[in-house]
Chain A
Amino acid sequence: MDRRDLFFRFLFGGSAVVLSYVTAKLLPWKVIGGIFAAFPAVMVVAVMMVGMKKGSKDAAKTAQGSVYGMIGGFICVLTVLFSLQLTQNWWGSFISGLITWFASSLFLVYMRDHKKENRASNIKLEH
């Protein structure tokens, strides 16, 4: 794997997240600033980079994976929220949020692929 390419991606991804933070903080309109604080910068950069290198089909696949990742992110935020309310343990809540993000995203991708395989084998059996 080309290290220069990865370094460029690191710079671009990091800059996109920082830019959304700077925009959120510096804009004089609080509402617009607050909206930019939640900008999905990593997804936008990742889809854009796949699109530039491999085209729209793979960009759509990355976006599809990111739907599962975003649902995982939603579950992560809920876990952190409820864990903080129940335990008041900051690090425990932070780590359990990370674990639930990854586990739930993987589970969703696995379930989706498993469902597709089942559907394909059912169609084969019918024929």
Chain B
Amino acid sequence: MESLSISGIVIRFLLGGSAVVASTIISRKLGSKMGGIFAAFPAVFLAALLTLRLDAKGSELVEKSIVLSQGAVVGMFINIMCAIGAVYFCTKQGWKRGLTQSIAGWFLISIIFAVISGYF
């Protein structure tokens, strides 16, 4: 078990909350599709980068950020699959079941990737 960082929590809370509010305002003004762009704001990735900056400096910061970004490439790819699944399932089965199924799909793909990449 790792320790939690208060600054990490605050940065994530502010970025996550702001992205949802921006998505809502833009959906109402410019349509749901444009709002959806902000729904996919990479809050988790950017918050993780900002949190790294609080703990490391100089070349150590750059090195840690490169390692984080390499992991995030895979995470983002799985998230694209999840969003495509959400479009398909929300259209076919309604938003409640659709969203649940796409999250289940995201979890399954992530586990499979973790197994394949020899994480265990």
Across the interface, name the chain A residue whose C-beta is closest to B57: A90
B94, A56: Cβ atoms closer than 8 Å: yes
Interface residue range, chain B: 35 or more
A99 within 8 A of B: no
Q: Chain A: interface secondary structure?
A: helix
A67, B94: Cβ atoms closer than 8 Å: no
A90, B41: Cβ atoms closer than 8 Å: no
B20, A25: Cβ atoms closer than 8 Å: no
Report which of A42, A54, A59, A71 forms a contact with B99, defined as CB distance below 8 A. Answer: A59
Task: With A40-B44, A69-B39 given, name 18 new contacts (CB 8 A).
Answer: A12-B20, A16-B20, A34-B71, A38-B110, A42-B43, A43-B82, A44-B103, A50-B35, A50-B95, A59-B99, A63-B102, A66-B39, A66-B40, A67-B36, A69-B36, A77-B69, A90-B65, A105-B37
